[in-house]
Chains A and B, each alone.
Chain A
Amino acid sequence: MAHVQDIEIPDAAARVARAKDELSDIHDEKMVLNMGPSHPATHGVLRIVLELDGEVITKADPDVGYLHRGDEKIAENMTYTQFIPYTDRLDYLAPLANNVAYALAVEKLLGIDDKLPPRCQYIRVMCAELARISAHLLGLGAFAMDTGAVTVFLLTFTEREKIYDLAEAASGARLTTSYTRIGGLSRDVPPTWVAMVRKFLKEFEVALGEAETLLTRNRIWVDRLRDLGVISKEMAIDYGLSGPNLRGSGVEYDRRKKAPYLCYKDLSFDIPTGSVGDCYDRYLVRMEEMRQSMRILAQCCDKIPGGATNESKEPVSIQDGKITLPSKQKVLSSMEELIHQFMLVTEGVNCPPGEVYFGHENPKGELGFYINSRGGGVPYRLKIRAPSFVNLSILGELLPGTMISDVPVILGSLDFVMGESDR
Chain B
Amino acid sequence: MSALELANKLKAKFGELIAEPMEFRGEISLKISDSAQIHEVCNFAKRQLGLDYLVDITSVDNYGEDPRFTIIYHLRSVAANIELRLKTDVSEEKSEIASVISIWRTANWHEREIYDMMGVRFSGHPDLRRILMWEGYPYFPLRKDFPLAGKPTDLPNVAFTKPAPLEGGPFVTVAEKADSTAREPRVRNPEE
Binding site for B on A (CB under 8 A): 64-65, 68, 70, 72-74, 76-79, 82, 108-109, 111, 237-240, 251, 253, 258-259, 343, 346-348, 354-357, 359, 366, 368, 370, 372, 378, 380-381, 383, 385, 389-390, 392-393, 397, 422-423
Contacts and interface: CB of A to CB of B under 8 A. Distances in A.
Contacts of A72: 117, 142
A356 B25 CA distance: 7
24 contacts: A64-B131, A65-B131, A65-B134, A70-B141, A77-B173, A82-B173, A237-B52, A238-B52, A239-B106, A240-B55, A253-B78, A347-B180, A355-B29, A355-B72, A357-B74, A366-B55, A368-B55, A368-B56, A370-B74, A372-B60, A381-B60, A385-B74, A393-B108, A423-B132
Contacts of A354: 24-25
B60 A108 contact: no
Closest CB pairs A-B (n = 6):
A240-B106, A65-B132, A383-B58, A393-B109, A68-B132, A385-B56
A359 B83 CA distance: 11
B142 A77 contact: no
Contact of A78 (B27, B133, B146, B175): B175
Interface in B26-60: 27, 29, 52-56, 58, 60
B166 A370 contact: no
A77 B58 contact: no
Contact of A258 (B56, B81, B174): B81
Nearest to A65: B132
Given A64-B132, A251-B78, A76 B175 contact: yes
A378 B173 contact: yes
A378 B53 CA distance: 30
A359 B55 contact: yes
Interface of B: 24-25, 27, 29, 52-56, 58, 60-61, 72, 74, 78, 81, 83, 85, 104-106, 108-110, 113, 117, 130-134, 141-142, 146, 148, 166-167, 172-175, 180, 183-184
Nearest to B166: A74
Contacts of A380: 60
A109 B175 CA distance: 19
B53 A240 contact: yes
Residue of B74, B142, B175 with highest tally of chain A CB at under 10 A: B175
A73 B142 contact: yes
A74 B164 CA distance: 12
Given A64-B132, A111-B25, A253-B78, A240 B183 contact: no
B25 A370 contact: no
B75 to A, nearest CB: 11
A375 to B, nearest CB: 11
A74 B104 contact: no
Contact of A370 (B58, B141, B173): B58
A346 B27 contact: no
Given A238-B104, A357-B55, A389-B109, 9 more contacts: A68-B132, A77-B148, A237-B53, A346-B173, A347-B183, A355-B85, A356-B24, A368-B55, A378-B175
A82 B173 CA distance: 9
B5 to A, nearest CB: 18
Contacts of A64: 131-132
Contacts of B74: 357, 368, 370, 385
Contact of A73 (B54, B58, B141, B174): B141
Contacts of A259: 81
B148 A73 contact: yes
Contacts of B58: 370, 381, 383, 385
Nearest to B143: A73
A72 B117 CA distance: 10
B158 to A, nearest CB: 14
A70 B148 CA distance: 9
A164 B55 CA distance: 32
Contacts of B183: 346-347
Contacts of A70: 141
A422 B8 CA distance: 37
A325 B156 CA distance: 47
Nearest to A392: B109
A282 B127 CA distance: 29
Contact of A77 (B27, B53, B113, B175): B175
B60 A78 contact: no
Contacts of B184: 346
A150 to B, nearest CB: 33
Nearest to A258: B81
Contacts of A378: 173, 175
